[in-house]
Amino acid sequence: MQLSESVGGDGPVCILVRVEGAEMVDRLHQGLVELSRVDEVHCRRYAGGWLLTACGAANADPDPLLRTVAALVDQFDSLAEVLDVRRGACELPSGGDGYRISARFRVSGGDAPADADNICLDAAHVFGTGAHASTRLAVQAMEEIAEREGGLPARILDVGTGSGVLALIAARLGGKVVQGIDICEEAVAVARRNVAANDLAQRVVVSSTPLAELSESYELVIANVTASVLLRLAKGIVSRLRPGGCLVVSGLQGRQGEEIEEALALYGLEPISRYADGKWRGLTLHNPLVA
């Protein structure tokens, strides 16, 4: 399935590409540098491989840049993949009152005290300040489930936890055993610090365990990842979802909401709610299968 990905806001468009193998890094790095739409390429170790970040000009249209980068990445088969498309940095202002991300929750920088309705967060250089529309749609979806069912279910999985923001909120909304996973070791380290800062270590565990290696099943799975990552993980995510459980997906843009809904219908999932904020889309789906 072809999926287009684009991103709003200001600042340079950054396309994050994961690649395996030292030789491949050099080849891909060189290929990215030679692309006319790419101004800068950064490289660092990431999730057992390398992360190359290709940045375009400020305020450039992200779609043509993404298309040229994706065409290059395709030549590397399974050794490289586009992970994310972002604009600029996403960092929290430190201190102060932070900001509201939902009807109930506020997010504050490192030195503010955490409480039942305030998430204390240091997102460092990983995704998950709570300010992004895709995160807020996932929070809205979780709050509606909690409202409807008198709290979130006990066992929850957060795929692509980033800073851990959704896992922390899931615990505040009633989750008793919340597992956050991310392929980025830096995100795992940041999320663990945030779990401790919010005094939720009894409920939230974060690791870099690949989805395919999880053996538990969950009553609620949350996944705020790009549409292409979601498509690739769909089968594994559904296999971790208990009969009667719910899946919240976010990080989709425009028509991707419908495309992902169709893709998940093939696994028997039924939509309960659809969310939109500008071009961003989120979905809550139900697994109707009985055990």
Ligand X SMILES: C[S@@+](CC[C@H](N)C(=O)[O-])C[C@H]1O[C@@H](n2cnc3c(N)ncnc32)[C@H](O)[C@@H]1O
Q: Return residues touching ligand X (CB under 6 A).
A: 83, 126-128, 132, 135, 138, 159-162, 165-166, 181-184, 187, 211, 224-225, 229, 233, 251
If the CB atoms of residues 47 and 289 are measured against ligand X, the closer one turns out to be 47
- Given CA atoms 87, 32, 211, 120 in this order, what sign does their dihedral have? negative
d(CA 81, CA 193): 28
* Of residues 49 and 251, the one with the C-beta less far from ligand X: 251
Pairwise CA distance, residues 129 & 184, whole Å: 16
Residues 120/110, Cβ–Cβ less than 8 Å: yes
* Cβ-based nearer residue to ligand X, 33 or 103: 103
Pair 227, 281: CB distance under 8 Å: no
**Run of H or E including 258:** helix 256-265
Q: Which is nearer to ligand X, 83 or 200 (CB)?
A: 83
- Smallest separation (angstroms) from ligand X to the CB of 123: 8
CA-to-CA distance for 165 and 182, rounded, in angstroms? 12
CB of 271 to ligand X, least distance (A): 20
State the Cα–Cα distance between residues 237 and 218, nearest whole angstrom: 10
Sign of the CA dihedral 17, 21, 27, 30? positive
**Residue with smaller CB distance to ligand X, 177 or 289:** 177
Sign of CA dihedral 268, 272, 274, 275: negative
User: Min. distance of Cβ 246 from ligand X in angstroms?
Assistant: 16
> In this structure, are residues 232 and 253 in contact, taking their beta carbons and an 8 Å threshold?
no
C-alpha dihedral over 169, 170, 173, 175, to 10 degrees?
-140
Least Cβ distance, residue 155 to ligand X (angstroms)? 18
Shortest reach from residue 252's CB to ligand X, in Å: 11
CB of 272 to ligand X, least distance (A): 19
Which lies closer to ligand X via its Cβ, residue 41 or residue 92?
92
Q: How far is the CB of 57 from ligand X (least distance, A)?
A: 23
- Closest to ligand X by CB, 20 or 289: 20
Specify whether the CB–CB gap between 265 and 3 falls below 8 A. Answer: no
